[in-house]
Chain A
């Protein structure tokens, strides 16, 4: 059946840890990870709960394929009500931690309440106990991982934890595992910190051994791996260049948001691209990129391992940053770079390392810095207020603000609120490039119409990972659609959103979907779980999950008015590139999208839709 069949319920207020059986009816209806964890959360919390109060809950969830030989089968999702948005927060991560939890015999861990003092959860197979974390509080993610492995005398321990950002209430703090893999967005790490929960340390020796039809599973997994290996994106592009392969591509399309979305092309894109990472530096003759790296079970291996220039101003006399470590992915390189007009690759990597070390979402951080730089150039914010001169393009400001934000120093505390609150505070709410309070990722929602609609309707606020229509609109997967064209995009967005929800719930990585459709996932799930899964059935489950999340957000107080984009994208046309003169046609697309979804004109799923989806 491939689910472990057991979940851990931890009450941090009472200090209790209990095992309970997995609700198998829900498992079949919502698969696992994102879908199943969300079902639990939504069934157990008041949608209007204050995200940072003890009444909010936070869940770490694996899927049925997590910890198996299915390619990329190492993922877990952290689900809670998010403090950045007030919507459902649902961030997944790779690395090795998710598989370790599953191999310890647990599908998920639910945390309730709030601990009176810092604690961490230690899990070794059936043993699970809360332990004192006073000595870990105030430590970085990297120090926490090191200290726990040493104190347990177990180098094979896997850690999922928060750094100073999560402790300090940065509203987009991340949960980080295996040093540089993160459940990055929407402030799931902030909720963890609010509960005085520092880390979950796991060692699993039991393994995942309840595959329903092992022979069929091994055959299906092998066939699917070949599909990944034979595909140009997953077999060559991603392992060689990582997601950074997109930097120059998206710039050429004219959809690389630059300087807080003032521009759509960045003159410095080539300096911060995958190609730049693989070119020897002028300073020391070494390449920035050391190697690629896979997460657990992944046969794509898109991860970047980089090494900084030791003479760069940001790391002079800081040897702790000289070793190889997690490198820039496209989203981080964009948010820290183009969004602020910074073309210094080493500075970007320094800020990226700080985000990993202290557990902070580089997208929301970088994009908020972009807003700060615009306010600085407008004269709304001064160097005295910020603590440094912060014009667009300042690598120095980027590095200083990363330190200040992660550690809660000075103006960094304000950047830690995110761009929505910050720009509102200083009287320019229109300059927050966000939806539902969460900052945009690295694709311009004007020039690429579908992604704009996907941002506006994403259940966790602006996000590319809830419906990556870039695959179709730029890369031509599965079919090429015209980026600036809005016709047909509501249908496209819905299809991507529903399929993604199913991928995310299986315990695998969404990057497989560059090569796989749900038809490649279905036989693996079917052999693993024993239930009958078809492509159509999985898409149906994905749609169910999407509507469930939407209902939660509606109950939390979100309305149609929140399904929108910043004024800049709706009224200020793209200045250059193939999409020159274009604004988002969201007002045309949104009603059509509601219609395609089976929602009423206010964006609420109709009774008929809910019945059709079994909600």
Chain B
């Protein structure tokens, strides 16, 4: 079964544990500046929204790469940057419609979420369940359940 990162902004408090976990997993340091997931704080509405790569099936970054440095991890479905091949041309950063693949000055390569090989550190670190790692085919399960609850468990008007 393939899993995906599932984000529920309503549960995010903006603590950035996910960003620290990401940078620690990939660089061995707590550096939100190096995180592949970013939490956006929309101050005037009070909303906090974590955002990262959704691992497109037909990934723009993968198709744009001139040296085929981005490949698919067959087990996790993640689109993974092969650092040894990447030449840092940044064409993928232009082609990605979502901005979730970015250049890293220190390495001269690009980076993006690779699902940590199937055990994402951000989901593990999230204290509120705003980021979860769940069955790719059933990301709607919780919402369906809420509506099903309304339909079945609450007294109907009729």
CB within 8 Å of B: which residues of A? Answer: 67-69, 71, 96, 99, 103, 156, 179, 203-209, 214, 218, 225, 229, 239, 290-299, 301, 305, 307, 323-325
The answer, yes or no, to whether B94 is at the interface (CB within 8 Å) is: no
The answer, yes or no, to whether B27 is at the interface (CB within 8 Å) is: yes
User: Which residue of chain B has the shortest Cβ distance to A322 in the bound complex?
Assistant: B44
- Contact B34–A305 (Cβ < 8 Å): no
User: Which 7 A/B pairs are nearest by Cβ-Cβ distance?
Assistant: A207-B31, A209-B29, A323-B44, A324-B46, A294-B15, A207-B29, A205-B33
Known: A203-B33, A295-B15. 15 other contacts (CB 8 A): A68-B30, A69-B20, A205-B34, A207-B30, A207-B34, A218-B24, A290-B45, A292-B13, A293-B14, A293-B48, A296-B15, A299-B15, A301-B128, A323-B43, A323-B45
The answer, yes or no, to whether B127 is at the interface (CB within 8 Å) is: yes
If the complex has contacts A207-B29, A290-B46, A323-B44, are A69 and B17 also in contact, measured as CB distance less than 8 A?
yes
The answer, yes or no, to whether B125 is at the interface (CB within 8 Å) is: yes
Chain A residues in 8 Å Cβ range of B30: 67-69, 103, 207-209
User: Which residue of chain B has the shortest Cβ distance to A325 in the bound complex?
Assistant: B43
Interface residues of B in 16-41 (CB under 8 A from A): 16-17, 20-21, 23-24, 27-34
- Contact B15–A297 (Cβ < 8 Å): yes
- Contact A207–B33 (Cβ < 8 Å): yes
User: Which residue of chain B has the shortest Cβ distance to A323 in the bound complex?
Assistant: B44
If the complex has contacts A323-B44, A324-B46, are A207 and B13 also in contact, measured as CB distance less than 8 A?
no
- Contact A299–B127 (Cβ < 8 Å): yes
How far is A307 from B47 in the complex, measured between Cα atoms in Å?
12
Chain A residues in 8 Å Cβ range of B32: 99, 103, 207
User: Which residue of chain A has the shortest Cβ distance to B124 in the bound complex?
Assistant: A222
Determine how close the nearest CB of chain B comes to the CB of A109; give it in whole angstroms: 19
- Contact A209–B27 (Cβ < 8 Å): yes
- Contact B16–A96 (Cβ < 8 Å): yes
- Contact B33–A305 (Cβ < 8 Å): no
How far is A351 from B15 in the complex, measured between Cα atoms in Å?
27
Count residues of chain B with CB under 8 A from any CB of chain A: 26
If the complex has contacts A323-B43, A324-B44, are A294 and B31 also in contact, measured as CB distance less than 8 A?
no
How far is A68 from B32 in the complex, measured between Cα atoms in Å?
10
Chain B residues in 8 Å Cβ range of A324: 43-46
Determine how close the nearest CB of chain A comes to the CB of B122; give it in whole angstroms: 12
Chain B residues in 8 Å Cβ range of A156: 33
Determine how close the nearest CB of chain B comes to the CB of A280; give it in whole angstroms: 16
User: Which residue of chain B has the shortest Cβ distance to A226 in the bound complex?
Assistant: B127
Please tell me which one of the listed residues A204, A229, A291, A299 contacts residue B33 in the complex, with CB atoms under 8 A apart: A204
Query: Which of A67, A68, A207, A291 lies at the interface centre, i.e. has the most chain B CB atoms within 10 A of its CB?
Result: A207
Determine how close the nearest CB of chain B comes to the CB of A327; give it in whole angstroms: 9
Chain A residues in 8 Å Cβ range of B33: 103, 156, 203-205, 207
Please tell me which one of the listed residues B16, B23, B44, B47 contacts residue A297 in the complex, with CB atoms under 8 A apart: B16
Chain A residues in 8 Å Cβ range of B27: 207, 209
Please tell me which one of the listed residues A207, A209, A239, A305 contacts residue B46 in the complex, with CB atoms under 8 A apart: A305
Interface residues of B in 107-157 (CB under 8 A from A): 125, 127-128
How far is A203 from B31 in the complex, measured between Cα atoms in Å?
11
User: Which residue of chain B has the shortest Cβ distance to A69 in the bound complex?
Assistant: B20
Chain B residues in 8 Å Cβ range of A325: 43-44
Determine how close the nearest CB of chain A comes to the CB of B149; give it in whole angstroms: 22
How far is A548 from B85 in the complex, measured between Cα atoms in Å?
58
User: Which residue of chain A has the shortest Cβ distance to B41 in the bound complex?
Assistant: A293
- Contact A208–B31 (Cβ < 8 Å): yes
How far is A229 from B125 in the complex, measured between Cα atoms in Å?
13
Please tell me which one of the listed residues A96, A206, A229, A301 contacts residue B13 in the complex, with CB atoms under 8 A apart: A301
Determine how close the nearest CB of chain B comes to the CB of A589; give it in whole angstroms: 40
Chain B residues in 8 Å Cβ range of A225: 127
- Contact A209–B31 (Cβ < 8 Å): yes
Please tell me which one of the listed residues A103, A296, A307 contacts residue B31 in the complex, with CB atoms under 8 A apart: A103
How far is A69 from B127 in the complex, measured between Cα atoms in Å?
12
Chain B residues in 8 Å Cβ range of A218: 24
Determine how close the nearest CB of chain A comes to the CB of B108; give it in whole angstroms: 15
- Contact A207–B15 (Cβ < 8 Å): no
If the complex has contacts A207-B23, A209-B30, are A296 and B43 also in contact, measured as CB distance less than 8 A?
no
How far is A225 from B21 in the complex, measured between Cα atoms in Å?
14
Chain B residues in 8 Å Cβ range of A307: 46
- Contact B28–A209 (Cβ < 8 Å): yes
- Contact B127–A229 (Cβ < 8 Å): yes
Chain A residues in 8 Å Cβ range of B29: 206-209
- Contact A301–B15 (Cβ < 8 Å): yes
Determine how close the nearest CB of chain A comes to the CB of B38; give it in whole angstroms: 9
Chain A residues in 8 Å Cβ range of B17: 69, 297, 299
How far is A71 from B128 in the complex, measured between Cα atoms in Å?
13
Chain B residues in 8 Å Cβ range of A297: 15-17, 20
- Contact B13–A294 (Cβ < 8 Å): yes
Chain B residues in 8 Å Cβ range of A207: 23, 27, 29-34
Chain A residues in 8 Å Cβ range of B15: 294-299, 301
How far is A327 from B8 in the complex, measured between Cα atoms in Å?
23
How far is A225 from B125 in the complex, measured between Cα atoms in Å?
10
How far is A96 from B38 in the complex, measured between Cα atoms in Å?
14
User: Which residue of chain A has the shortest Cβ distance to B24 in the bound complex?
Assistant: A69
How far is A30 from B46 in the complex, measured between Cα atoms in Å?
37
A-B contact pairs, 10 of them (CB 8 A): A67-B30, A68-B30, A99-B32, A205-B33, A292-B13, A293-B46, A293-B48, A297-B17, A298-B13, A299-B17
How far is A292 from B15 in the complex, measured between Cα atoms in Å?
11
Determine how close the nearest CB of chain B comes to the CB of A305; give it in whole angstroms: 4
Chain A residues in 8 Å Cβ range of B45: 290, 323-324
How far is A299 from B12 in the complex, measured between Cα atoms in Å?
11
Chain B residues in 8 Å Cβ range of A208: 29-31
Determine how close the nearest CB of chain B comes to the CB of A328; give it in whole angstroms: 14
Determine how close the nearest CB of chain A comes to the CB of B130; give it in whole angstroms: 11
Query: Which of B15, B28, B125 lies at the interface centre, i.e. has the most chain A CB atoms within 10 A of its CB?
Result: B15
